[in-house]
Amino acid sequence: MSNNYTWFVISMMCQPQSEGHTNVVSSVAWHLEATDGTILVRTSGTTPIEFDPTSDFIDYANLTHDEVIGWVTAALGADNVAELKNGLDVQIESIITPQVVIPPLPWQ
């Protein structure tokens, strides 16, 4: 069974003015969660977003979660996204099958 991943935007930092636009997103703080249906793990980060004045500008009030996560994953690149997901998979596996356990002391 494969794990399911969910991205969350925590906050967006903006330049108040840039190239004639207001509230231009310059970085995004995010969480990426993974679950196997029972166990939930999370990693977090902040990703800088390059403003391209030649692209279609979307007003801050009209941004969608999917649009912003698209920027984050594009800025991170496919290899880094795969590495983040792999790290979460390893965390889940280590909870399912721990490499080290701490049993109670035998005299208690």
Confidence of residue 1 (pLDDT cuts 50, 70, 90): low
- The string of DSSP letters for 12-38 reads EEEEEEETTEEEEEEEEEEEEEEESSS
pLDDT value of position 31: 98
Task: State residue 63's pLDDT score.
Answer: 96
Mean pLDDT in residue range 9-24: 94
Which residue ranges make up each domain of the chain?
4-96
Per residue in 59-104, pLDDT (tens digit) is 999 999 999 999 999 999 999 999 999 999 999 999 999 888 899 9
How do residues 34-67 score in pLDDT, each as one tens digit? 999 999 999 999 999 999 888 889 999 999 999 9
Per-residue pLDDT reduced to its tens digit, 20-29: 999 999 999 9
